[in-house]
Amino acid sequence: MRISGTFLAAIGLFFGFIGLIYWFTAYEEAGFVMLMGTAILGLLPGGYYLWWSRRMRPLEGDLPDASISDGAGTIDSFPGSSIWPFLIGMGALFAVLTFIFGLWLAPIAIALGVSAIIGGVVESRRGGTV
């Protein structure tokens, strides 16, 4: 966790420094705001990880004598295939298409989204296919 936090904080500091240079040399607001947003996206999780790394035991990647297999986790416990994420994606697609083509696609989007959420919850409760 400490290595990840240091890496993300370094990315945030780098983009913050580049953003300040960009502000004073280009005088353009949009690029400066995007570079500062990138800096914040590095500093926020990096600072959070560094803050928690002092309060937790070191993870496998933080140990100096760690190997790759130490952080591998549980092997051979992959979830089975499910149709519900695809249906949630189709519901989201029809929801976006509702804004483009009109409200007549909204019932399809709602039906796909609600049925996919219900099916996913039922499948996760039962531990198998529905």
Q: Is 79 inside any structural domain?
A: no
Cβ neighbour number for residue 15 with a 10 Å cutoff: 21
The verdict on 13 and 52 lying in the same domain is yes
Number of structural domains (the chain) is 2
Distance between first and last Cα of the chain: 38
Give the pLDDT score at 54: 86
User: Is pLDDT above 90 for 55?
Assistant: no
The verdict on 89 and 121 lying in the same domain is yes
Task: Summarize the confidence of residues 86-108 as an average pLDDT.
Answer: 95
Q: Which of 40, 52, 33 is nearest to 13 (CA)?
A: 40
Q: Is 41 inside any structural domain?
A: yes
The verdict on 8 and 45 lying in the same domain is yes
The verdict on 13 and 43 lying in the same domain is yes
Q: Is 33 inside any structural domain?
A: yes
pLDDT digits (tens, 9 = 90+) for 9-52: 999 999 999 999 999 999 889 999 999 999 999 999 999 999 99
Range name among 2-16, 35-49, 57-71, 84-98 with the lowest pLDDT average: 57-71
Q: How far apart are CA 123 and CA 126, in angstroms?
A: 5
The verdict on 14 and 57 lying in the same domain is yes
User: Is pLDDT above 60 for 102?
Assistant: yes
The verdict on 12 and 47 lying in the same domain is yes
Q: Which domain holds residue 95?
A: 84-126
Q: How far apart are CA 53 and CA 59, in angstroms?
A: 9
The verdict on 53 and 89 lying in the same domain is no
